[in-house]
Structure 1
Amino acid sequence: MLRLFALFFAALLFTAPVPVLAQQAQPFTPDQKAALTQLVREVLVSNPEILIEAMNALEAKQQADAGKAAQAAIAANRKAIFDDGVSYVAGNPQGDVTIVEFFDYRCGYCKQVQPSLMTLLKEDGKVRLVLKEMPVLGPESVIAARAAVAALEQDKGAKYLAFHNGMMEFRGQITEAEIFRLAGEAKLDVAKLKTDMAAPKTEQILRANLALADMLGIQGTPGFVIGDRLVPGAVPLDTLRQLVKEARG
């Protein structure tokens, strides 16, 4: 690892612009390059904290760049994110702060954050929660996502949330049989559900969700959009409260 960094810094020196090299007029000779490489190596071996500082600075820059890119993507896709006309909206449909969750029904972290989201909706009557299926964890994830989207076709989506919560609260392997059992428990017409799962509209909604997640730079589930911020991971309830407060402010 140190050798790689030494060579990296040496390469920077060899290709640096004229001011950095103090007006060096001629290319370095092989002996000069070897001496510089050895010098860089000795500096890094003697001061390994330089590597940590450099990596931390790089990580901070990458995070800042990703944040700016996400903000730009959110601004450019606001309607698709917050009001696409097809995603289920929980909480207060006229709320002053919207949380958008991209999730997978087989995602343990999504299941972990689910109680916090439901608690937040009960605590704060002005929060609007938009749920977007993002099946990325295998065939069962796709089946569960198709079933959830298809549930929106029954009773104007009135049974969606019970079905959604049932799948989120389920522990163990969520097989196709379990998905349809949970659909029955949510009082859904399972035969109609299976038909609607195969409809082109269902496929279009899921493809749109995945494409939107890609544009936003969401690389895993859960992923949240709160206000103009992209928030990855299963954030705790207190953090959700704070993010809502900041978005509201």
Structure 2
Amino acid sequence: MKNILISTAMLIIPFTAAADELTEDRIKELVLEAIRENPGIVFEAAQLFEEQQQANQALAAAQVLASERDALERDPNAPVLGNPDGDVTVVEFFDYNCPYCRRVKPHMEALLAADPNVRVVYREWPILGEGSVFAARAALASRNQGKYDEFHWAMMGLNGRAEEATVISAAEKIGLNIAQLRRDMNAPEIDEHIQTSMRLSRAIGFSGTPSFVIGDSLAPGLIDAEQMISLVNQARANN
């Protein structure tokens, strides 16, 4: 409420003589007088405050993208699907227990089928419990057996929650060596990947999965293939 009152004051003070000499009490009086005479000014102030917040968030996000571009798009410790030499990178933050992430699966497959010049960087971001952490570690460990792609799609098509038993079952079905998988799940590069995902998501301001970075655009939440293709084309045009 205080911020909205300040925004309301910003609407009226420029039209008030000797604004520099106004005391805090006098500003409050002017704001209350303005509200009594024109109640709609509160709505205008709320809109102004929201616009300022959005502008600040956009500026902060742009600064993070500029400083973290390599970490987002070129981290050698992040799995890449699609064309590894593609000219546009789609970064997806996801959790195997997120139902919306699973619903992205056919749309991501459609994007990869439609555009052979896209590279997709996957950031395992396990935020939905111990099962999510186990699944993320297993998926990252599967890289050592050259089966990340298969395992990722199998996990995204999983029925029910990703827990140790269901994760191991999915791994067995695609022919992973389970003893090796369990050993590899404790590798330091897996800790590093997950920690980097946590750091980047906080810096960008993402609050849930799935969340995407496509060029200079942030797309938190579920998006479909058409939206992905549009953002990819936009990023390509800006290159």
Pairwise TM-score range, normalised by the shorter structure: 0.7 to 0.9
Structure 1 residue aligned with 2:68: 77
Q: Give the distance between the partners of 2:216 and 2:29, measured in 1 at CA.
A: 50
Match of 2:217 in 1: 229
Q: CA deviation at 1:20?
A: 5.7
Alignment of 1:1-249 (within 5 A): 8=5, 12=9, 21-23=16-18, 36=30, 39-43=33-37, 45=39, 47=40, 50-154=41-145, 158-249=146-237
**Shift of the alpha carbon at 1:224?**
1.0
Asked if the contact 2:3–2:49 (Cα under 8 Å) also holds between the matched residues in 1, the reply is no
Q: Residue 63 of structure 1 aligns to a residue in which SS?
A: helix
Q: Secondary structure at the match of 1:225?
A: strand
Q: In the alignment, residue 198 of structure 1 is paired with which amino acid?
A: N
Runs of 4+ in 1 over 6 A off after TM superposition: 32-35
Go from structure 1 to structure 2 and tell me whether the alpha carbon gap of 1:223 and 1:6 turns closer, same or farther (over 3 Å shift).
closer
Distance 1:11 1:67 in 2: 23
Q: Which runs of 5+ in 1 are unaligned?
A: none
Quote how far apart the aligned CAs of 1:162 are.
Answer: 1.2
1:233 is displaced (CA, Å) by 1.3
Question: Following TM superposition, by how much is the alpha carbon of 1:62 offset from its aligned partner in structure 2, in angstroms?
Answer: 2.2
Amino acid at match of 2:5: F
Count of aligned pairs between the two proteins = 235
Structure 2: 5+ residue runs without aligned partners? Answer: none
User: In structure 2, how many angstroms separate the alpha carbons of the residues matched to 1:35 and 1:105?
Assistant: 54
Q: Distance in 1 between matches of 2:232 and 2:7?
A: 47
Distance 1:97 1:74 in 2: 15
The whole-number CA distance in structure 2 between the counterparts of 1:94 and 1:7 is 48
Deviations along 1:155-207, whole A, 9 cap, x unmatched? xxx31111111111113222210011111112111111111112222112211
Mapped to 2, the partners of 1:40 and 1:201 lie a distance apart of 60
| Partner SS for 1:22 | coil
Confirm or deny: 8 A CA contact 2:104 2:224 kept in the other structure: yes
AA partner of residue 138 (structure 2): A
Aligned-partner SS, 1:152: helix
After TM superposition, the score normalised by the length of structure 1 is 0.82
CA distance change for structure 1 residues 44 and 161 in 2, over 3 Å: closer, same or farther?
A: farther
Paired amino acid for 1:129: V
8 A contact 1:70–1:229 mirrored in 2:
no
Give the secondary structure class of the aligned counterpart of 2:44: helix
- Larger-gyration structure (1/2): 1
Amino acid at match of 2:177: D
Please, what is the CA RMSD of the aligned residues? 2.8
TM-score of the pair, normalised by structure 2: 0.86
Distance in 1 (CA, whole Å) between partners of 2:130 and 2:80 is 25
